[in-house]
A and B are shown apart, each in its own frame.
Chain A
């Protein structure tokens, strides 16, 4: 079974996390074998996916900045979403090349990981046909947006654990007008430690993706020493 290193990195800035992902992905694309699952939370940020419409951000940048929310453009699929404290963000850096060359399957697999993780907390969640993400009842609890380059994945999913849901009011999440969002906290009536949810998710991730999950020592592998190029 292939090995995947996992790490709960705590609060990490969006740009820093993007750089981290790029570094891990670069090494995979260069023939490395080290796959990773980065789990973390972001400071408040609105991100624009490749299919984002500016009008889905409902306030100008000045207002948002005053609220402590930054806006970032990204190369993930999907539209506009919000990340912030209390939301468990997962960035799997996997090579789908060997055995899983199917983007639809990848999305469904990520959903399954989230559904099973939620089930561990006694929460029933599911899919909505035709849409990507995970819903509890009619409310969306997790969003997914990924980027692929030579079948190496970056970006991933965001699961609302204790997220301040009012912040989603700043945007039209995923272009779904009138779509409500929810969190595990709202459904369970209590806050959960993000790290606890992360550690519940790891074995489910390993099960779905058939990876041996191992804790990582560092967030990113150290770059190999540059030597002579033939």
Chain B
């Protein structure tokens, strides 16, 4: 019979492909999985394997032609009729070699549906095969979607296949047939063939020794952790195993791109840096008084409100100048001391979080910082930041205090090495010169990367900030 070879889908956003080269001529014998043509999309060149064994009967798309995905580009003439008979006959005569078309029935039982994770395999071993359509949850396989004779091997490769899966499906048809008849999970057997494949000898020996039978109830889907090879955990983008039981009420909502990015970045940062957090308490009396004194004039002159933020930014900038380690990055086994001081200001949004950057903050006056910060915050909330606005930060300030938090232990924004968290400014009872006083106080928490920065340096840096806020001149406010 004839099998269509189709233009495969090479990605979600890709609607067509250009056939660049035929690797086989009409009449050539092809093995299944043998590359038969090449396509190119953008900067990618890909070899496309044959969906079936047989002869290349007809080429329908010429080199250089661009066709939509799933278009038929050629046909393969298989030896199916003959093979189907041979496949059935093979059950009795394990020595004969069934042709490809005889395989699916066996292969389907061997190939567990991998869509639902381990749990849905519990009654699988001797159970009827799942419909072939459910074998892969992912996008179609190159050249395969319309063809029943597809080697299941090809399908499995695309769905988080483990070494065990590959070993199993790459066993010869004879081995699979024997395995099917005896309800043996090949993936549990020790293989002595190429790449650990289970040979006929292996499976017969196993059956004799009874080892295979004990292995039978094992779920192929639960393979990670078993076998010698470093079995991978589920890839991150794979469907998550549900965190709720059947029947529980839940609404499943895809993460926004921003959420995904934040999630990725946070985990990546935790994995990269050795986070340590140190907390200082700072008396904000002076800052609050200055702010009160200049509030009105500042607003009139600069058109933005004078908040404590520019004071904090300026105090941080002064401290960064004194402790350049805090304004650095680790590059492999080098330290890059950043000559510019670009302060990222975390802005909470209704839909997430973004950290626009006040560039060259060391060149800015207090009013300059106030204006830049106000502009960035406003554009962040209006979704009008440009990519440039959020890149190139060398140090970050985040302000959980606006929601009442006393202090947090923020996560460093990579590739920076420190982040300053500002708690709520609250009037507290403190001891000043052995007298009890009421002062506006704030906790400042610095998370720093202990790979580069030692506690002593971090604390001196914080002491510098504290001194600036409590005693600094803050000239040129207005």
Contacts and interface: CB of A to CB of B under 8 A. Distances in A.
B421 interface: no
A230 B172 contact: yes
Contacts of A30: 194-195
Contacts of A1: 232-233, 235-236
Nearest to B160: A98
B44 A147 contact: yes
B12 to A, nearest CB: 6
B158 A97 contact: yes
Nearest to A50: B45
B157 interface: yes
Nearest to A49: B45
Contact of B170 (A31, A49, A133): A31
Interface in A195-216: 195-200, 203, 207, 210
B240 to A, nearest CB: 13
B199 A230 contact: yes
A210 B235 contact: yes
Contacts, number: 191
B238 interface: yes
B230 A121 contact: no
B453 interface: no
A198 B235 contact: no
Contact of A103 (B11, B35, B332): B11
Contacts of B380: none
Interface stretch (A12-20, A55-63, A71-79, A160-168): A71-79
B226 interface: no
Interface stretch (B84-92, B384-392, B460-468): B384-392
Given A102-B10, A149-B47, A124 B42 contact: no
B158 A224 contact: no
Interface string A116-150: 00011110101000001100000000001111111
Interface in B343-358: none
B49 interface: yes
Contact of A33 (B193, B229, B268, B338): B229
B180 interface: no
Given A104-B13, A151-B158, A230-B201, A77 B45 contact: yes
Interface string A22-34: 0000010011110
A100 interface: yes
B336 interface: yes
Contacts of B170: 31
Contacts of B400: none
Given A124-B391, A145-B43, A199-B332, A99 B237 contact: yes
A207 B268 contact: yes
B331 interface: yes
B157 A97 contact: yes
Given A50-B20, A97-B157, A103-B10, A2 B333 contact: no
A149 B35 contact: yes
Contacts of B138: 99, 101
B171 interface: yes
A77 B41 CA distance: 8
A57 to B, nearest CB: 18
A148 B193 contact: no
On chain B, which size bracket covers the interface? 35 or more
Contacts of B145: none
A168 B200 CA distance: 56
Nearest to A120: B415
Nearest to A2: B232
Contacts of A103: 10-11, 14, 41-42, 44, 46
On chain A, which size bracket covers the interface? 35 or more
Contacts of A119: 391-392, 415
Interface stretch (B116-124, B161-169, B285-293, B469-477): B161-169
Contact of A150 (B157, B159, B163, B196): B157
A67 interface: no
A197 to B, nearest CB: 8
B40 interface: yes
A103 B38 CA distance: 14
B331 A121 contact: yes
A105 interface: yes
A180 interface: no
A200 B157 contact: no
A116 B157 CA distance: 30
A124 B342 CA distance: 13
A215 to B, nearest CB: 12
A219 to B, nearest CB: 19
B42 A107 contact: yes
A3 interface: yes
A64 B194 CA distance: 44
B45 A147 contact: yes
Interface string B22-35: 00000000000101
Nearest to A31: B166
Interface of A: 1-3, 27, 30-33, 49-51, 75-78, 95, 97-107, 119-122, 124, 126, 132-133, 144-151, 193, 195-200, 203, 207, 210, 224, 226-230
Closest 10 A-B residue pairs measured CB to CB? A199-B332, A31-B166, A102-B11, A230-B199, A148-B46, A99-B235, A77-B45, A2-B232, A149-B47, A210-B236
24 contacts: A31-B163, A49-B45, A50-B21, A103-B11, A104-B13, A104-B42, A106-B11, A106-B44, A119-B392, A119-B415, A120-B329, A120-B415, A147-B45, A149-B35, A150-B47, A196-B331, A199-B332, A224-B194, A226-B194, A227-B192, A228-B201, A229-B193, A229-B199, A230-B171
Given A149-B47, A210-B237, A230-B175, 18 more contacts: A31-B166, A33-B162, A76-B43, A77-B43, A98-B159, A99-B160, A100-B237, A101-B158, A103-B42, A103-B46, A104-B13, A104-B14, A120-B329, A196-B333, A196-B334, A197-B332, A228-B201, A229-B194
